[in-house]
């Protein structure tokens, strides 16, 4: 988190107040929440009235898919686990070898009539960075009467996001993916009447999520959203990501870069070194001072084969060797130099010892 995000949270905590109260403290707390609501909405080209704050993206995803009143739930095979596991009868839409959902696959999955269905396709994948053609998918689904939801948590601050242009009915966001605090998210609704939740309480968040709002977290989310909306350093991050991939594949010709044939986020690279397990790489790089992941970072600390790569048709043995490398605005060329050296040295050392 940036200093401005931390300060926004500290100010909210110092001020206190219940945003549902009508006295001065309550009105000031309400003002902070509504200011943050505007900033989060502006980050994705939405209106403040469309934003419902949640405890995070997982809650928003579950709310979207389980409270929309549609009997059929169709999700892409490469979704985050919070979407895959949100609904007990969710059916998977296949992806191609680069992890892209084709609009034709959505039409096939929906059949002749989608009026009883909701389709959920993430804007950008959290493991490979692959960007989905969400606007085209939404057009195909809407033609058949389906609702469309997109988990967009990975996209803001990395590529322009415009909810109206994407033409989705619901969009999920997360504060900690844009430099805000963990434990805060949002569901952006085209129309609040799309959902019917069972949450009871004080009627907060348009009656969709009862309970006193997380004022400090929401204040941090708003501050982070302003920074994400203004960020313009994607080209530099892309250059650094591409340098990692180019130098490692030149030195290790059998290295695999996943999703390289599709548009990707600038900050994410998913690569496999055949024959060297992901867990071994993660631990060795951690000892060298570099934090990388094996698959999603949201799987309770477990290192297991990525369902995303398996859905892309990747051989199981290769998928078990894949790690995800993430870059940020503060990542420097010196960081890239050190990481490439450490990773290549590790690969050669492990392969020599296995020979």
For the segment 243-264, the average pLDDT, to the nearest whole number, is 98
186 with 260, same domain: the answer is no
200 with 281, same domain: the answer is no
114 with 215, same domain: the answer is yes
Task: Give me the phi and psi of 171, to 5 degrees please.
Answer: -140, 135
348 with 249, same domain: the answer is yes
Q: Any idea what the CATH number is for the domain that residue 347 is in? A: 3.90.1150.10
40 with 159, same domain: the answer is yes
Task: Give me the phi and psi of 52, to 5 degrees please.
Answer: -115, 120
Give this prediction's pTM.
0.94
215 with 258, same domain: the answer is no
205 with 299, same domain: the answer is no
**8 Å CB contact between 139 and 103:** yes
Q: What is the mean pLDDT of the chain?
A: 94
Q: Residues 216-242: pLDDT tens digits?
A: 999 999 999 999 999 999 999 999 999
Percent of the chain with pLDDT strictly greater than 90 = 89
103 with 19, same domain: the answer is yes
Q: Residues 256-310: pLDDT tens digits?
A: 999 999 999 999 999 999 999 999 999 999 999 999 998 655 554 556 789 999 9
Domain that holds residue 325: 234-354
**What pLDDT was estimated at residue 208?**
87
297 with 173, same domain: the answer is no
205 with 261, same domain: the answer is no
> Which two structure tokens, joined as six digits, stand for 258?
């996943």
195 with 260, same domain: the answer is no
* Domain final residue pick, 183, 214, 230: 230
Percent of the chain with pLDDT strictly greater than 70 = 96
* Domain final residue pick, 212, 230, 248: 230
270 catalytic residue (yes or no): no
Count of structural domains, the chain:
2
pLDDT bracket for residue 354 (50, 70, 90): confident
Strand order in the sheet with 322-326: 256-257, 268-272, 322-326
140 with 14, same domain: the answer is yes
**8 Å CB contact between 150 and 170:** yes
pLDDT bracket for residue 108 (50, 70, 90): very high
**What pLDDT was estimated at residue 24?**
92
Residues facing 293 on adjacent strands: 324
**8 Å CB contact between 116 and 70:** yes
CA atoms within a 13 Å half-sphere pointing along the CA-CB vector of 139: 8
Q: Residues 172-218: pLDDT tens digits?
A: 999 999 999 999 999 999 998 899 876 667 788 888 888 899 999 99
**What pLDDT was estimated at residue 300?**
47
Q: Residues 64-106: pLDDT tens digits?
A: 999 999 999 999 999 999 999 999 999 999 999 999 999 999 9
Indicate which residue of 66, 68, 270, 298 is catalytic.
Answer: 298
* Domain final residue pick, 178, 211, 230: 230
**What pLDDT was estimated at residue 40?**
98
CA pseudo-torsion sign 133, 134, 138, 141: positive
Q: Any idea what the CATH number is for the domain that residue 18 is in? A: 3.40.640.10
């Amino acid at each position: 988190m940036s200093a401005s995000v931390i300060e926004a949270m500290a100010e909210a905590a110092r001020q206190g107040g219940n945003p549902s109260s009508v006295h001065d403290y309550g009105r000031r707390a309400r003002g902070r929440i509504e200011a943050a609501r505007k900033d989060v909405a502006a980050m994705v080209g939405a209106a403040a009235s469309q934003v419902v704050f949640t405890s995070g993206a997982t809650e928003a995803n579950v709310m979207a898919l389980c409270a929309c009143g549609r009997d059929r739930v169709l999700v892409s095979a490469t979704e985050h686990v919070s979407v895959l596991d949100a609904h007990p009868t969710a059916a998977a839409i296949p992806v191609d070898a680069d992890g892209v959902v084709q609009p034709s696959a959505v039409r096939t999955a929906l059949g002749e009539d989608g009026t009883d269905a909701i389709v959920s396709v993430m804007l950008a994948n959290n493991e490979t960075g692959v960007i989905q053609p969400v606007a085209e998918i939404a057009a195909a689904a809407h033609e058949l009467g389906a609702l469309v939801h997109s988990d967009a948590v990975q996209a803001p601050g990395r590529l322009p996001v415009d909810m109206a242009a994407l033409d989705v009915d619901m969009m999920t966001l997360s504060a900690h993916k844009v430099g805000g605090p963990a434990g805060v998210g949002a569901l952006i609704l085209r129309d609040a009447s799309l959902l019917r939740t069972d949450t009871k309480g004080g009627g907060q968040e348009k009656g969709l999520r009862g309970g006193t709002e997380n004022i400090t977290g929401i204040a941090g989310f708003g501050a982070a959203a302003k920074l994400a909306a203004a960020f313009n350093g994607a080209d530099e991050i892309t250059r650094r990501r591409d340098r990692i991939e180019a130098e490692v594949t030149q030195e290790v010709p059998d290295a695999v870069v996943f999703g390289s044939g599709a548009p990707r986020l600038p900050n994410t690279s998913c690569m496999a070194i055949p024959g060297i397990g992901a867990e071994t790489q993660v631990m060795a790089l951690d000892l060298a001072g570099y934090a990388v992941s094996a698959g999603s970072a949201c799987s309770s600390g477990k290192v297991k084969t990525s369902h995303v790569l398996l859905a892309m048709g990747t051989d199981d043995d290769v998928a078990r060797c894949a790690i995800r490398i993430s870059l940020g605005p503060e990542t420097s060329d010196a960081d890239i130099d050190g990481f490439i050296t450490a990773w290549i040295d590790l690969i050669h050392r492990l392969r020599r010892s296995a020979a």
